[in-house]
Chains A and B, each alone.
Chain A
Amino acid sequence: MLCEKCQQNEVTVHLTDIVNNTKREYHLCRDCARSHGVSIKATLENFKNLTIPEFYSPPDATEEESTVSATSQDCPDCGMTYARFRKEGKFGCSRDYDLFSDSLDDLFGKIQPSSQHKGRVPARFHGAMAQNLEIERLRQEMEQAAIDEDYEKAAALKSQLKSLEQGS
């Protein structure tokens, strides 16, 4: 059977569209299916697992998505990928928080008031958290010194910060 659109290639995609109760069937080759707006992912993977927006995601977006998941690192501890995390919405282990940290501020911004923990701290972290707060305080002071053009003070604070951070 030849593709009904280009009449050249073999049909690989059988698509049933129901729009406003009108059923329409398409028999297309891969390339024409793409140009029809059907994600190539749907023809390659088990499309039952795809959500409707994923199914109809334009081919460009699919390619973009695959580049993203190729560049973001899979977790060596639990095997979680960023794509899977975004799809299922659940982390696999503690390490994922560091691996995906670049995108987390954005995500947490939508559901949480801030991405800095302000609640209780386990006893074993008391020292580290106190130091974090001290580093943050010095950094703000340094920035203020730079704004005030007090470069001597800023330099002193910078070296103080450096030794604190190296010590940690």
Chain B
Amino acid sequence: MIFEGFKSEVGEWLQGTGPDSDLVISSRVRLARNLANSPFTSVANEDQSRKVADRIGVALDRLGSGLPLQVYPLENRPVVERQVLVERHLVSHELATGEGPRLVGFDETESFSVMGNEEDHLRLQVMKSGNQLDQAWEQMCPLERALEEELQFAFHSKYGYLTACPTNVGTGLRASVMLHLPALVITGQIEQVTSAATKIHLAVRGLFGEGTEAQGDFFQISNQRTLGLTEEQILDNIASVLPRIIEYERKLREELLERRRERIEDRIGRAYGILSHAHVMTSKEALEHLSLVRLGVTMGLLDGVSMTQVNRMFLHSQPGHLQCLQGEPLSSDDRDRKRADLLRGILGDSAG
């Protein structure tokens, strides 16, 4: 089972450490690359895709001498295992549910991951906990260089790195930060942030990126433009707006404490009460309560709970993890019961 192959309970991005980790959950950089002289994944036939996957596999093996990677083919893997990989942000939903020869590789800290035969032949990703976009990029550069030496990437002197989708062409870089912004949501200011970000060509999305709604006050901010800018300009654009969002959220949290302390303590306390005592819980409900509990922990309003517990609940209560921990596929109703059991169990560690 892939699940047993994980070194830690949660991956690097959910460690809850790093700068500004009270509200910047994680930072991620992703590069899209294609092998020169091979058709892109969507039009490649089985044979061509197999060759691409094999070449990537070999290149990753060589890379492995400097960075030990576990590499798995994804076809024929059980649905639940693929779901676990999506929940840990190691593969995209598209790769998990796709067809044909596909692979995933990641290091034991789950900081670096590689997807083979996604929409592009290669998707390289570095994730860090907290506000560490530059550090993630620094870590990415030598890895990309090493792979470039093994595999010739499709490149055009005008358009840069060629990708299947015009929204990735050029640098192939998608940089994103995942933010927890409950105070901005509670006070109804989040729209301002969203529209300001959109104005400077940044996209605001939900927890799992493209096509997902924001849930539990978690937002992902990423660049939309990839061509005609240097990688540094793309990263700087996000870095320029981030401190203002962080400052805004922190200011609102302070104001909430000053003006509506009882109200906010009550909401957090109730969320904690439900998480630690409920017997049936959907993942959507869990996420909403977890958001408030997380807020309580970062504001020092919930003494008995640690960020480690919050992050474990956050990840392990998701459907794939829940079923993997249970060791069997569960119906939706069963999941809601087991989820509540799991949350009670994790919080029971501290509640005694």
Contact present for B40 and A90 (CB under 8 Å): yes
Supply 15 A–B pairs (Cβ within 8 Å), ascending by A: A91-B166, A93-B39, A94-B34, A101-B158, A104-B159, A111-B225, A113-B201, A113-B228, A114-B228, A117-B156, A117-B227, A119-B170, A119-B173, A119-B231, A120-B231
A53 within 8 A of B: no
Closest to A133 in B: B157
What's the least CB distance linking B149 to chain A, in Å? 8
* Total inter-chain residue pairs, C-beta < 8 Å: 113
Docked complex: B183-225 residues within 8 A CB-CB of A:
201, 224-225
Collect the chain B residues with CB atoms within 8 Å of residue A101's CB: 158
What's the least CB distance linking A64 to chain B, in Å? 23
**Given contacts A108-B166, A111-B224, A117 and B39 within 8 Å (CB-CB):** no
Provide the bound-state CA to CA distance between A91 and B119, in Å: 10
Collect the chain A residues with CB atoms within 8 Å of residue B43's CB: 78-80, 92-93
Contact present for B230 and A118 (CB under 8 Å): yes
Where chain B touches its partner, the secondary structure class is loop
Docked complex: B20-38 residues within 8 A CB-CB of A:
34, 36-38
Collect the chain B residues with CB atoms within 8 Å of residue A120's CB: 171, 230-231
Contact of B40 among A93, A108, A122, A125 (CB under 8 A): A93
Closest to A125 in B: B155
Contact of B148 among A78, A115, A122 (CB under 8 A): A122
Contact present for B119 and A115 (CB under 8 Å): no
Contact of B157 among A113, A114, A132 (CB under 8 A): A132
**Given contacts A111-B167, A122-B153, A117 and B40 within 8 Å (CB-CB):** no
Closest to A131 in B: B157
Contact present for B226 and A92 (CB under 8 Å): no
B1 within 8 A of A: no
Provide the bound-state CA to CA distance between A94 and B37, in Å: 7
Residue from A98, A119, A124 whose CB has the most chain B CB atoms within 10 Å: A119
Collect the chain B residues with CB atoms within 8 Å of residue A111's CB: 166-167, 224-225
Collect the chain A residues with CB atoms within 8 Å of residue B230's CB: 118-120
Collect the chain A residues with CB atoms within 8 Å of residue B224's CB: 111
Where chain A touches its partner, the secondary structure class is loop
Interface string of B134-155 (1 = CB under 8 A from A): 0000000000000011001111
Contact of A118 among B42, B163, B164, B229 (CB under 8 A): B229
Residue from A80, A104, A107, A111 whose CB has the most chain B CB atoms within 10 Å: A111
Contact present for B157 and A129 (CB under 8 Å): yes
Docked complex: B167-186 residues within 8 A CB-CB of A:
167, 169-171, 173
Residue from B38, B161, B166 whose CB has the most chain A CB atoms within 10 Å: B166
Docked complex: B224-243 residues within 8 A CB-CB of A:
224-231, 233
B351 within 8 A of A: no
A167 within 8 A of B: no
Contact of A125 among B157, B162, B225 (CB under 8 A): B157
Contact present for A119 and B229 (CB under 8 Å): yes
**Given contacts A97-B162, A112-B225, A128-B157, A91 and B170 within 8 Å (CB-CB):** no
**Given contacts A79-B43, A94-B36, A97-B159, A112 and B226 within 8 Å (CB-CB):** yes
A121 within 8 A of B: yes
Provide the bound-state CA to CA distance between A90 and B169, in Å: 11
Provide the bound-state CA to CA distance between A80 and B44, in Å: 12
What's the least CB distance linking B59 to chain A, in Å? 14
What's the least CB distance linking B99 to chain A, in Å? 16
A46 within 8 A of B: no
Contact present for B148 and A117 (CB under 8 Å): no
Contact present for A116 and B228 (CB under 8 Å): yes
Collect the chain B residues with CB atoms within 8 Å of residue A93's CB: 38-40, 43
What's the least CB distance linking A93 to chain B, in Å? 4
Collect the chain A residues with CB atoms within 8 Å of residue B39's CB: 77-78, 92-93
Closest to A117 in B: B160
Provide the bound-state CA to CA distance between A93 and B42, in Å: 9
What's the least CB distance linking A130 to chain B, in Å? 10
Collect the chain A residues with CB atoms within 8 Å of residue B149's CB: 123
